[in-house]
Amino acid sequence: MYPKSEQAFAEARQFIPGGVNSPVRAFRAVGGNPLFIEKAAGSRLYDVDGNSYIDYVLSWGPMILGHADPEVIGQVKAYAERGTSFGAPTTLETEMAKKVCELVPSVESVRMVNSGTEATMSALRLARGYTKRAKIVKFEGCYHGHADSFLIKAGSGVATFGLPDSPGVPESVATNTITVPYNDIESLQLVFSQFGEEIAAVIIEPVAGNMGCVLPKPGYLQAVREITKQFGALLIFDEVMTGFRVALGGAQEKFGIDPDLTTLGKVIGGGMPVGAYGGKREILEMIAPTGPVYQAGTLSGNPLAMIAGYTTLCRLEQAGTYERLEQMGKLLTDGFREIGEERGIPIFTHSIGGMFGVFFTEESVTDYTSAKTCDFDLYAKYFHGMLETGVYFAPSQLEAGFLSLAHSDADIHMTLEAARTVLKRV
């Protein structure tokens, strides 16, 4: 069914480590080899063998308008004609920054970078520079990109491949990262009672999306905000995944929390390589050239990336966007629940905005420990069964699913029919 993909992967492996430029693209967790993609449009992905798929990975989140959105592509083409990088300011960068400050409640000033990893890494340096403290707290199963300080009990590919701590991260760096379970405020309080005066920042995915999709318990984010404030530590909301996805203003708007710093990525680039970090002006003024904390980028604020992101954000502002995403998420997860009951397969599932989680487990998934109770063998069979019927889910259960405005109700009904058939077989 996938001869050309197989051939392409064999060749890629000769020149690229593991044949992929990012580990989660490999099908390690589910077995088999990755599909090579030729093109995509709307809700559909097309592989090099000519198979098509309803796509719930969406480039791991960015493609919220669907693939190859004509307006975004048209603007990128128009801007490309004028030159692709200047290394000098453009008014488009200001328009973009203004838009982000308008939309994301806590952000008063924002710096563009080229990936989510750069955003979190820079926000962390800024938090340390601002507080003059070294330690940080992160949560088990949360992923904040691949900078050294965050590769401790991280989620996403790190969890999928079972690499709790990466070799190459020096001990001296790792000792400054404290990890606690997600959704467990007592553990965080304990850490603060011990190290409170040394903690520069707490970084959190306000809705976790890298151990599957896990929602914060009611009042949890509020409690995290209170304790960080009490000890003078900064609260960094890593909204690389949730930004412009669970609500126009991200999780901070949805849950009414005012973080000190926010990191953004994925949707903000509309499918181009972009990240951003922003927050209170007083803190952002610490960044060079106004302040002493250094961070820079040859391609940062790149015009093609800015126009793709800006066009995407403007479209998301249209009325009904998040209602539509919520409605599709509900249709999909209600459907999964129903199928699970019909087939006698325990499924824990929920959605928020354009993000959803599906876990084959009897447990309520609230943290990394409960996420890992899911049935990985069943997911592998389900994943391949779905792929054969033309539906592309993430090749790991410990990843969130994504919806776009290009998905139709018919897509969702087709997906549920496929799941019904596949889960009968397995």
Query: Does the protein bind ligand PMP through residue 145 (CB under 6 A)?
Result: yes
Phi-psi region of 216 (alpha: psi -120 to 50; beta: other; left: phi over 0): beta
**Contact region with ligand PMP (CB under 6 A), list: 6-14, 90-98, 141-149, 366-374:** 141-149
What is the sign of the dihedral through the CA atoms of 374, 375, 379 and 380? positive
Choice from 19, 116, 181, 250 touching ligand PMP (CB under 6 A): 116
CA distance 135 to 112: 25
| Known catalytic membership, residue 77 | no
Tell me the closest approach of the beta carbon of residue 298 to ligand PMP, in angstroms: 17
Nearest to 210 by CA among 128, 285, 120, 286: 120
Is the distance from CB of 357 to CB of 56 less than 8 angstroms? no
| Known catalytic membership, residue 266 | yes
Near ligand PMP in 74-93, by CB under 6 A? none
Q: Of the two residues 5 and 122, which places its CB atom closer to ligand PMP in the complex?
A: 122
Tell me the closest approach of the beta carbon of residue 239 to ligand PMP, in angstroms: 7
Nearest to 388 by CA among 35, 7, 63, 66: 35
Tell me the closest approach of the beta carbon of residue 373 to ligand PMP, in angstroms: 22
Near ligand PMP in 207-246, by CB under 6 A? 209-210, 238, 240-241
Hunting for tokens 């009990």 — which residue is that? 153
Q: Of the two residues 246 and 419, which places its CB atom closer to ligand PMP in the complex?
A: 246
Q: Which of 130, 143, 310, 379 is catalytic?
A: 143
Tokens found for residue 329: 């998420």
Tell me the closest approach of the beta carbon of residue 125 to ligand PMP, in angstroms: 15
Q: Of the two residues 210 and 370, which places its CB atom closer to ligand PMP in the complex?
A: 210
CA distance 51 to 42: 15
Is the distance from CB of 138 to CB of 127 less than 8 angstroms? no
Q: Where do the H-state alpha helices sit in 196-320?
A: 220-231, 250-255, 281-284, 303-316
Choice from 2, 130, 143, 244 touching ligand PMP (CB under 6 A): 143
Is the distance from CB of 377 to CB of 425 less than 8 angstroms? no
Q: Of the two residues 9 and 402, which places its CB atom closer to ligand PMP in the complex?
A: 402
Tokens found for residue 176: 């400054």
Tell me the closest approach of the beta carbon of residue 147 to ligand PMP, in angstroms: 9
Query: Does the protein bind ligand PMP through residue 115 (CB under 6 A)?
Result: yes
Tokens found for residue 33: 């080899």
Q: Which of 135, 138, 254, 266 is catalytic?
A: 266
CA distance 360 to 102: 39
| Known catalytic membership, residue 182 | no
In this structure, the number of other CB atoms found within 10 A of the CB of residue 67 comes to: 23
**Contact region with ligand PMP (CB under 6 A), list: 128-136, 143-151, 191-199, 221-229:** 143-151
113 three-state secondary structure: strand
Q: Of the two residues 5 and 210, which places its CB atom closer to ligand PMP in the complex?
A: 210
Tell me the closest approach of the beta carbon of residue 91 to ligand PMP, in angstroms: 26
Query: Does the protein bind ligand PMP through residue 265 (CB under 6 A)?
Result: yes
Side-chain-facing half-sphere of 270: CA atoms under 13 Å = 26
Is the distance from CB of 382 to CB of 340 less than 8 angstroms? no
Q: Which of 47, 69, 238, 260 is catalytic?
A: 238
Query: Does the protein bind ligand PMP through residue 354 (CB under 6 A)?
Result: no
CA distance 354 to 216: 16
Near ligand PMP in 300-329, by CB under 6 A? none
Number of residues that bind ligand PMP (CB under 6 A): 17
Active site residues: 143, 238, 266
Binding site for ligand PMP (CB under 6 A): 60, 115-117, 120, 143-145, 156, 205, 209-210, 238, 240-241, 265, 275
